[in-house]
Amino acid sequence: MPTRPTTRSGENLFTKRREPLHFLLWLGIVGSVLIFTVLLGIYIVRKVGPNWYETPLPGIFWFSTVVIILSSISLHEAKEAFQKERFALYRICLGITLFLGMAFVGMQGYGWLHMIEQGFHLRGNPSAGFVYLLTGLHVVHILGGLIFMGVLFREATKNQSYIDSFVYSVNPPNQLKIKLMTTYWHFVDVLWLYLFLFLLYHHTA
């Protein structure tokens, strides 16, 4: 008879209890990927249609790309510091990540304003419309992450003493918050890199 897959502790993988919030996060990530995949597919189809004029991407998008990569690195460092009970470093890295995330949103907004000043509006040019739609939808994902990160930063700054920070860190729900935030933020980082490279390729090809 075939044996059922088990963990090292002998627990049945099919009956193992899973964290529902982690599952919901990944379900949301898969949903977001599907939405962007459909939009990019529509973009490719629409590009060969009439009234398509290429829209040059704002140069600030290059800087915002560097910023979001740095934010992903700083959040990784924050998670490592949290796990190693280096709580002061955790607060610093989390604050840096929060600042870089807000800077990214500001840079995207500046890029949109630059496009408008150059005459690339939502109406009349499908190419520009797709740039606004794709980057704007991504910013919505970033804003959702910033709200949750702001809550984490507020909780981190409330626990200034080592004892308070340690008690906070050993609480499983708090550990889960850090894991969920890190997973989500890395996702929006990778998502932006893919969108930026996609748009860069199609707007220069």
Closest alpha carbon to 39 in 202, 204, 205 = 202
Report angle CA 139, 140, 145 to the nearest 5 degrees: 90
What is the total count of domains within the chain? 1
Classify residue 205 as exposed, middle or buried by CB count within 10 Å of its CB (0-12, 13-18, 19+).
exposed
The 8-class DSSP code of residue 10 comes to -
CATH code, domain carrying 118: 1.20.120.80
The 8-class DSSP code of residue 167 comes to H
- pLDDT of amino acid 97: 97
Give pTM, 2 decimals.
Answer: 0.85
Reading the block at residue 117, the tokens are 């000043």
The residues with which 6 forms a beta bridge, in sequence order, are: 12
State how far the Cα of 142 lies from the Cα of 108, in Å rounded to an integer.
Answer: 11
> Is 23 inside any structural domain?
no
> Is 194 inside any structural domain?
yes
CA distances from 193 to 67, 74, 169, 202 (A): 11, 17, 32, 14
Reading the block at residue 115, the tokens are 């496009």
Identify whether the C-beta of residue 9 lies closer than 8 Å to the C-beta of residue 168.
no
Beta-carbon neighbour count of residue 117 at 10 Å? 8
Domain that holds residue 73: 58-204
> Is 173 inside any structural domain?
yes
pLDDT in tens, the chain (205 residues): 445 455 455 544 444 455 688 889 999 999 999 999 999 999 888 888 777 777 888 999 999 999 999 999 999 999 999 999 899 999 999 999 999 999 999 999 999 999 988 888 777 678 888 899 999 999 999 999 999 999 999 998 888 788 878 888 888 888 889 999 999 999 999 999 999 999 988 765 5
Question: Residues 13-26, buried b or exposed e (16+ Cβ, 10 A)?
Answer: eeeeeeeeeeeebe
> Is 5 inside any structural domain?
no
> Is 42 inside any structural domain?
no
> Is 32 inside any structural domain?
no
> Is 157 inside any structural domain?
yes
> Is 186 inside any structural domain?
yes
Give the residue carrying structure tokens 């840096």: 96
